[in-house]
Amino acid sequence: MKKIKFLILFCAASGILADEVVFTKNGKKVVLKENFTWQYAPEQKVDPSKKSNTNRSILKGTDQTSLIKSKSGVYSVFYNAAQWTSVTENHEFAEFHFVNQARTGNAMVIYEGLEIPLESFPELVLLNVIKTDPDARILNIEDCSVNGVPGKIVTYTAQIKGLRFIFYSFLASGNFGSVQFSTFTLESQFEKEKANFEKVISGFVLN
């Protein structure tokens, strides 16, 4: 049931459309029409201003000595307890939730055992966010690796309850499953918090 919820989390936005959008194993987008026909969706060109060609390597810092392990045994997160607090509360989808000491930034980790085509991952995340805010948009996509795990840093903005937030998320997927390590704060605080967000993300490691 949990795996089914994961699919719903990233594909629920398709319910607001007349046609349903699904993805093949190799990441091709397919449109399923109400008349029971289907077609490949037109390929979307990536806006160069929204995608970085760099492939940075992000590594865990020596000050990140506190450790929290996933129940799955697949990954762990190292963090600096002087800067971030692990919040022990139940979330429907997030396995871990961190709050910074100033309480101006949050970080959440969503893990599932399902592999998602990495090139499609950012768009799937946005589809889910659009259900809450139709004006949500991706600001930047950057190829990177975190402690040797290849993935993408996706920056996107969305409005929640009248407040504009910016999300800075590391997305990774492979035979280990899929991870969405999302940090977020108010738009006005993002530039101030961005370095700290990348620091907490750098604590992600595969076991």
Cα(173)–Cα(152) distance, integer angstroms = 10
Mean pLDDT (whole number) for 54-66: 91
Q: How far apart are CA 19 and CA 200, in angstroms?
A: 39
Token representation of residue 162: 């009248």
Asked whether the predicted pLDDT for residue 137 surpasses 90, the reply is yes
Where is pLDDT greater, at 42 or 88? 88
Using alpha carbons only, how large is the chain's radius of gyration in Å? 17
Given a contact cutoff of 8 angstroms between Cβ atoms, the answer to whether 10 and 124 are in contact is yes
| Percentage of the chain exceeding pLDDT 70 | 71
Instruction: For residues 34-60, give the mean pLDDT.
Output: 62
pLDDT at 4 over 70: no
Compute the average pLDDT of residues 159-164.
90
Q: What is d(CA 145, CA 39) in angstroms, rounded to the nearest whole number?
A: 34
- Spatial distance between the Cα atoms of 122 and 131, rounded to a whole number of angstroms: 15
What lies within 8 Å, CB to CB, of 191 at 6+ separation is none
CATH topology of domain 57-206: Protein Transport Mog1p; Chain A (3.40.1000)
- The arithmetic mean of pLDDT across residues 153-162, rounded, is 93
Q: What is the sign of the dihedral through the CA atoms of 112, 127, 195 and 58?
A: positive
The confidence band for 55, taking pLDDT boundaries of 50, 70 and 90, is confident
Locate 59 and state its tokens.
Answer: 């590594």
- 168 φψ region: left (φ > 0), alpha (ψ -120 to 50), beta (else): beta
Is 93 in contact with 61 (CB distance < 8 Å)? no
Question: Mean pLDDT across the stretch 63-69?
Answer: 95
Q: What residue segments make up the domains of the chain, in order of their start?
A: 57-206
